[in-house]
Structure 1
Amino acid sequence: MRRMHIGLQVDDLDESIEFYTRLFGCEPTLQRPDYAKWMLDDPRVNFSLDTHGSGQPGSAHYGIQVETPEELAAMRDHIDAADLPRSDQADLVCGYQLQHKSWVTDPNGLWWEAFFTEGVVDEGYGTAEMPDP
């Protein structure tokens, strides 16, 4: 099953965590000093906040999270069949998780990722760098 992902850059993480905790009615699933994530089931969304990157507060990237490597392969096949150029990343730490990703950009330059997460890691937030389009 797929889950929508919204990764939002914020100025004040504590203030944003308090706001979204109240909005969603639950505490973050994963929280670090520079990151917070909610794995919501209704609606089925992976919503994360971070203080990394070079964009303005409120800038975001979007994605589709899959549950298995096979689903990621199917998403990559779908992207290729749609004739969309993609950039892949494997075995990277992002948002305190080991992930494998494929990126595409929309006509306005908005980043979308298809990704599979293997699990949580403790060695740091990871990369905030996007691949070359």
Structure 2
Amino acid sequence: MSRIQLALTVSDVEQSVTFYSQLLGTAPHKRRRGYANFAVAEPPLKLVLIEGTPNATPPSDAPNTSPAADAAPGCCTTAPGSLNHLGIEVASVDEVRAARERLTTAGLATFDEDDTTCCYARQGKVWVHDPDGIEWEVYTITDDDPADALPPTAHREDPR
């Protein structure tokens, strides 16, 4: 199973959840403070909503928040109403590794996160930028509800 991921920065996650629930005809798969995601079967889509403002520091009561999260690319680095990042969810770590190999063989700079906690899930992923700087991740979820889950503002380095 593969599906495209679209992550949007929104100004009010509750209003956005209401709108996207109506638009997509489904309830969110996961909701946390300032975060929601929809796992849509048809068309295959993972829609992620991240509440925030550019370079916002996550809420103080967010679990396991990195102190450097306000500088983390792919989190709240875009204005509400704009694209946060794009992704391709794949079924296995092997598919992430195959994507990494394909991207590096093509000469693209990648950033690996082999076993990371992000968006309230354990994931394996590889990041790459398109020619205009838009971030793409190829990822798989290895544990959808871990005890040490981090919000979407978990820190990672920018490969640029």
TM > 0.5 fold call:
yes
Cα deviation, residue 69, structure 1: 1.1
Q: Distance in 2 between matches of 1:129 and 1:63?
A: 17
Taking a change above 3 Å as real, the CA distance of residues 16 and 45 of structure 1, as seen in their structure-2 partners, is same
Letter in 1 for 2:19: F
Letter in 1 for 2:77: S
* TM-score, length of structure 2 as denominator length: 0.77
Cα deviation, residue 70, structure 1: 1.0
Q: CA RMSD in A?
A: 1.5
- Contact conserved, 2:7 with 2:84, CA < 8 A, in 1? yes
Q: How many residues align?
A: 133
Taking a change above 3 Å as real, the CA distance of residues 126 and 61 of structure 1, as seen in their structure-2 partners, is closer
What is the match of residue 24 of structure 2? 24
| DSSP-derived class of the 1:104 partner | strand
| DSSP-derived class of the 1:21 partner | helix
Letter in 2 for 1:51: E
Q: Distance in 2 between matches of 1:33 and 1:75?
A: 32
Give yes or no for the alignment of 1:8 onto 2:31. no
Taking a change above 3 Å as real, the CA distance of residues 67 and 113 of structure 1, as seen in their structure-2 partners, is same
Deviations 1:37-71 (A, max 9, x none): 11111111111101241310123200111111111
Q: Which runs of 5+ in 1 are unaligned?
A: none
| DSSP-derived class of the 2:19 partner | helix
Q: Which runs of 5+ in 2 are unaligned?
A: 53-75
* TM-score, length of structure 1 as denominator length: 0.91
Q: Distance in 1 between matches of 2:51 and 2:123?
A: 19
- The structure whose residues are more often strand, as a share, is 1
